């Protein structure tokens, strides 16, 4: 079983909680993939190049994969889900402190206006959005909007800011819980029944 950790803007797999989480998950027997992406702060992100990087480093997504994207990495995970040819539906996608939109012109093309939420919500068996009330970079409302659009489970935290510290046991525990919980999948089961 693979856990795929996608870092955010102006970051790397060696920053924030990524090294700690990678080690925690490997100790539990998971294969962990941490792609290193070209996300320069001084120029516009070339989305096709980033998608090709993800394709080379991740390959096809598998049915037991869990994808966790932090901050801008959450949006890149969604872009990858929409862009990549899929043979299987990943077990879960976790979006941590992921923005809905930004004002920075060089990043606007990555955002949700260009993504089809009606298609995306079928590209993983489960979506989870994790956001902290005290996030100083991405307001809590962004997490709520993402969760609503993707019909995702929303986990509201307090005291975790933008998840840039070295350790977050909540993320490790969430992944382990998802993996250990049997998933009885039926298409559309999370949607309201308009006919009942």
Position 27 in a domain = yes
Map tokens 């929303």 to a residue: 154
Cβ atoms 80, 58 nearer than 8 A: yes
Query: From the CB of residue 42, how many other CB atoms can be counted at a distance below 10 Å?
Result: 6
Map tokens 């480093």 to a residue: 57
Give the global pTM: 0.87
Instruction: Spell out the per-residue pLDDT of the chain, length 196, in tens.
Output: 899 999 988 889 999 999 999 999 999 999 999 999 987 667 777 788 888 999 999 988 999 999 999 999 999 999 899 888 778 899 999 999 999 876 555 555 555 556 677 778 788 999 999 999 999 999 999 999 999 989 999 999 999 999 999 999 999 999 999 999 887 655 555 566 777 6
CATH code of the domain containing 14: 3.40.50.1820
Strand ranges (DSSP E) for 65-126?
Answer: 66-70, 92-96
Position 92 in a domain = yes
Position 128 in a domain = yes
Position 152 in a domain = yes
C-alpha separations of 183 from 69, 140, 186 in Å: 21, 28, 9
The range of the structural domain enclosing residue 66 comes to: 9-180
Position 74 in a domain = yes
Q: State the total domains in the chain.
A: 1
Q: What are phi and psi of 58, to 5 degrees?
A: -105, -45
Position 190 in a domain = no
Position 147 in a domain = yes
Cβ atoms 66, 33 nearer than 8 A: no
Query: From the CB of residue 119, how many other CB atoms can be counted at a distance below 10 Å?
Result: 10
Position 192 in a domain = no
């Amino acid at each position: 079983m693979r856990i795929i950790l996608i870092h955010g803007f102006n970051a790397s797999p060696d920053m924030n909680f990524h090294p700690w989480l990678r080690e925690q998950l490997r100790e539990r027997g998971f294969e962990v993939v941490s792609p290193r992406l070209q996300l320069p702060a001084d120029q516009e992100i070339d989305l096709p190049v980033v998608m090709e990087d993800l394709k080379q480093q991740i390959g096809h997504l598998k049915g037991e994969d869990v994808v966790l994207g932090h901050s801008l990495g959450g949006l890149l995970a969604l872009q990858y889900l929409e862009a990549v040819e899929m043979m299987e539906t990943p077990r879960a996608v976790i979006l941590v402190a992921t923005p809905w939109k930004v004002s920075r012109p060089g990043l606007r093309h990555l955002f949700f206006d260009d993504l089809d939420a009606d298609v995306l919500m079928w590209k993983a068996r489960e979506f989870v959005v994790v956001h902290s009330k005290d996030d100083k970079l991405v307001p809590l409302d962004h997490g709520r909007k993402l969760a609503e659009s993707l019909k995702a489970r929303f986990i509201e935290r307090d005291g975790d800011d933008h998840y840039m510290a070295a350790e977050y046991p909540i993320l490790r525990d969430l992944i382990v819980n998802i993996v250990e919980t049997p998933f009885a999948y039926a298409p559309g089961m999370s949607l309201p029944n308009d006919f009942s």
